Chains A and B, each alone.
Chain A
């Protein structure tokens, strides 16, 4: 399948680098007959990702170092419990946490962390989840922090108890309270005193868990968050940290991590036995943290900024189209451009998104409620040459919907 191979790799990045392969590998790589283009066989189309490393789009690209570690774990077997112990210790050390474990993702971390806070290591309680009638099962959450993934807090049998303000938290605490929940880095957090919230938890001796899944990069933020004093913190592994797709981190108090591990695989009768983490993923996650900590984030940030700015300048070349560059102050530090157009173009951002998605190659952009319905482009996942394709297609679509009354519009 010579053609499909060329097409595929060509769409990705320059292949001339073949000369750097080891002789054996380059022989393999150029041996077109040996190459199996699985996605082509399956009829699955590649796409251009101008939205970011979302789970539904396969997450981020793993660091080469992570793949190296995964290769190692494929070939070298050790007992899972030994890997879990040693990797947990190392990750905790690197991030300044008391203890750590690798989970099947940020959601896996939320589920296991919540389960740990409800059961506190009691084997009978562990066994009865998600039936929580005989244990503390209430999780206090601020109404403004209700979000998509609080679904996972309920998965092991917890009940959400909403409070309006942090000053209502103390009143909401009772015998059934298992945990306080905090969602880090949402735009609405400005009016919440995190320290006060954590203090209430400590005063009442209730563990407080923080979902910080989307707060990296920058990676140093993890240490800052650990220092805030949460009892448990959840991170996504396959996004900002560029680790394995189905991996995440749960950091925190030694006892709670110990209980959380009881709920996880490979324990046979654990509530979370199904959320398996392969040894490759366990080790890969450690190396992802390690690599992220060494990585020149500023350089990568500037690269992305340069890319989105250049896309913005190109697009703003169309009369009536404007582009502005933004950096989220909440969430991951990934620059994006917001594209806006006036009535000269009779098409909504949602329709543009739809048309980009349905074209060939399919292009994914952001036009969600989170972007206020505006069109956003990011460069996090863009491969070389793809920015130009995105700009070109966007222009084509806009021009197709250019108002026929343009003259009159301009005169106004």
Chain B
């Protein structure tokens, strides 16, 4: 997989003349002496172990692979400066049009979308209140959340000074909403389901006059889920950019009502006095996010599906003859159309625990990350979303090696 080669050829070709050539006043003669793109292996220099990601587009693993179109756009923006406000306005408009939302902005990730969206709902554009955050003494700060929607990232709702108020029923919502209520929060999809379904929750929010924000970060692919999400009628909706949409790692989307998006933008970089000035988004990321969305909406889902299926079939082909090994390709039951590969084995025939299996893959060279589903009785699962062509063969070979030599693998793992 060599985006690097194409980028280097074109970027590095252009950059010396646009960047160096002008910024250092090099004459054309001098420019010629600019070294060709390096073949430096930075990770090797640093002693960082690269790995094959068969686990999925997790932030801790560097997110998804960006689409080539996204990299092109980022390369374009890296050597052309425009005013950030102009870029934000133009890209925001275009994204709103593509998604059918009233307005849109690019954030530094889904978490930032949550923080900025919450801040917008709390302050509603009041300059003084904005500058006071996270001090909410004179600002509405209560966020209504269904008990079943409590999750790891609800932490983001309190970053700007919000306070979570848990509810379980519509009656709870009515009882909880008061003059301190800033926002009603909704999460989708949830492991535990909802006490109050989206449509009822939205109607309730409208009836009570409280803005309703939805975290739909993990509901792509397909990107067309965004169009559906927007249509549901939330006032604000948050998406991750560097995962299902295969955009820049530190980018996300906040879509919704024009006034709320305007307030959210004021809470963010490059505005000096905002609470979100730390959540910077570069022009490369801003443009890259637009192109990621555009490309994701245009992509053939069938082709995407086939790509992943092929990766899994190549892995299965290498291990299916091992006695006691069971493999299954299946589609996620959630809103996304993710494809997964389950691998299991008869522990009487192969004496290796699932944890040992994971550790053996991790400590292998090259290192491989897969996922262990804690909630599903410790199932071993592979994802092909971040797997490059060719990596499937390597992963298959390593898994074969580990399953055929369980005792050896366990020793290696224990040694380390």
Binding site for B on A (CB under 8 A): 8-9, 12-17, 20-22, 24-26, 28-29, 36, 38-39, 42-47, 49, 54-59, 61-65, 67-69, 71-83, 86-87, 90, 103-105, 107-108, 110-112, 127, 129-131, 148-149, 151-152, 154-157, 238, 244-246, 265-266, 268-281, 283, 287, 299-300, 303, 306-307, 362, 364, 381-384
Q: Could you tell me which B residues sit within 8 Å of A by CB distance?
A: 1-4, 6-25, 28, 31-32, 34, 37-38, 40-43, 46-51, 53, 58-63, 66, 71-73, 75-87, 90-91, 94, 107-109, 111-112, 114-115, 131, 133-135, 152-153, 155-156, 158-161, 242, 248-250, 269-270, 272-285, 287, 291, 369, 386
Partner of B278, one of A57, A75, A152: A152
Which one of A14, A59, A276 has the greatest number of beta carbons of chain B within 10 Å?
A276
Give the chain A neighbours of B386 by CB distance below 8 A.
77
| In the complex, the 6 A-B pairs of residues with the closest C-beta atoms, listed nearest first | A276-B250, A245-B282, A246-B280, A25-B9, A130-B134, A278-B249
Given contacts A12-B22, A12-B80, A64-B19, contact A246 B250 (CB under 8 A): yes
A73 and B42: CB pair below 8 A? Answer: yes
- Chain B residues in 8 Å Cβ range of A17: 13, 16-17, 21, 28, 31
Q: By the criterion CB–CB under 8 Å, are A72 and B9 in contact?
A: no
What is the chain A residue whose CB lies nearest that of B91?
A42
Are the CB atoms of A56 and B109 closer together than 8 Å? no
Partner of A265, one of B28, B59, B135: B59
Closest chain B CB from A119 CB (angstroms): 14
Residues of A within 8 A of B135 (CB): 154
In the complex, the answer to whether A148 meets B115 with C-beta atoms within 8 Å is no
By beta carbon, the residue of chain B nearest A89 is B46
A21 with B46: CB separation less than 8 A: no
User: Given the complex, which residues of A lie within 8 Å of B38, measured CB to CB?
Assistant: 65, 68
Given contacts A45-B82, A69-B42, A246-B280, 8 further A-B contacts (CB under 8 A): A12-B80, A61-B79, A77-B51, A79-B62, A130-B159, A130-B160, A245-B282, A246-B285
Instruction: Give, as a whole number of angstroms, the nearest-CB distance from A145 to chain B.
Output: 16
> Which residues of chain A are near B34, meaning CB under 8 Å?
64
19 contacts between A and B (CB under 8 A): A17-B28, A24-B6, A24-B9, A42-B90, A44-B86, A74-B71, A77-B61, A80-B60, A104-B279, A108-B278, A130-B161, A148-B272, A238-B282, A245-B282, A246-B281, A274-B111, A274-B115, A276-B108, A306-B25
Contact A28 B84 (CB under 8 A): no
Measured between beta carbons, the chain A residues less than 8 angstroms from B249 are 276, 278-280
Residues of A within 8 A of B272 (CB): 148-149, 151
Please tell me which one of the listed residues B94, B279, B284 contacts residue A275 in the complex, with CB atoms under 8 A apart. B279
A-chain residues with CB within 8 Å of residue B61 when the two chains form the complex:
77, 79-80
Q: Which residue of B lies closest to A81 (CB)?
A: B60
CB distance from B387 to the nearest CB of A (A): 10
Cα distance A108–B274 in the bound complex, in angstroms? 12
Complex interface: chain B residues within 8 A of A86 (CB): 46-48
Beyond A68-B38, A72-B40, whether A77 also contacts B279 by CB under 8 A is: no
Does the CB pair A56–B84 fall under 8 Å?
Answer: yes
Contacts A55-B84, A71-B7; is A63 near B155 (CB within 8 Å)? no
Q: How far is the CA of A112 from the CA of B274 in the complex (A)?
A: 16
Q: How far is the CA of A346 from the CA of B10 in the complex (A)?
A: 49
B17:A15 contact, CB within 8 angstroms: yes
Q: How far is the CB of B136 from chain A (nearest CB, A)?
A: 9
How far in angstroms is the closest Cβ of chain B from A209? 15
Residue of A nearest to B241 (CB): A276
Q: Which residues of B contact A65 (CB under 8 A)?
A: 38
Q: Once the chains bind, are A67 and B94 in contact (CB under 8 Å)?
A: no
Complex CA gap A382/B23 in Å reads 7
Residues of A within 8 A of B133 (CB): 155
Assembly CA distance A107 to B268 (angstroms): 12
Min CB distance A47 to B, Å, is 6
In the complex, the answer to whether B11 meets A67 with C-beta atoms within 8 Å is yes
- Kindly state the separation between the CA atoms of A279 and B42 in the bound complex, as whole angstroms: 12
- Known contacts A56-B84, A246-B281, A269-B155; decide if A74 and B66 are in contact (CB<8 Å): yes
Q: Which residues of A contact B369 (CB under 8 A)?
A: 79
CA of A69 to CA of B51 in the docked complex: distance in angstroms? 18
A104 near B80 with CB under 8 A, answer no
Known: A55-B84, A90-B46. A279 touches B62 (CB 8 A): yes
- Report yes or no: B51 in contact with A79, Cβ–Cβ below 8 A: yes
Q: Once bound together, how far apart are the Cα atoms of A225 and B37, in whole Å?
A: 33
Minimal Cβ-Cβ distance residue in B for A382:
B22
Instruction: Give Cα A49 to B81, complex, Å.
Output: 9
Residue from A54, A82, A277 within 8 A of B250 (CB atoms): A277
Q: Which residues of B contact A38 (CB under 8 A)?
A: 73, 76-77, 287, 291
CA distance in complex: A81, B46 (Å): 13
- Judge whether B76 and A68 touch: CB under 8 Å: no
Partner of A71, one of B3, B41, B60, B87: B3
Q: Which of chain A's residues have a CB closer than 8 A to the CB of B283?
A: 58, 245
Question: Which residues of A sit under 8 angstroms from B279, Cβ to Cβ?
Answer: 104, 108, 274-276
Q: Is the beta-carbon distance between A75 and B10 smaller than 8 angstroms?
A: no
Bound CA span A80–B58, Å: 10
Pick from B1, B13, B270: contact of A56, CB under 8 Å: B270
User: A58, B25: Cβ atoms under 8 Å?
Assistant: no
Given known contacts A105-B280, A246-B282, A275-B108, is B28 in contact with A16 (CB within 8 Å)? yes
Please determine whether A74 and B4 come into contact, CB atoms closer than 8 angstroms.
Answer: yes
CB distance from B31 to the nearest CB of A (A): 6
Find out whether the CB atom of B83 lies under 8 angstroms from the CB atom of A57: yes
Complexed CA–CA distance, A71 and B49 (Å): 17
Residues of A within 8 A of B11 (CB): 67, 71
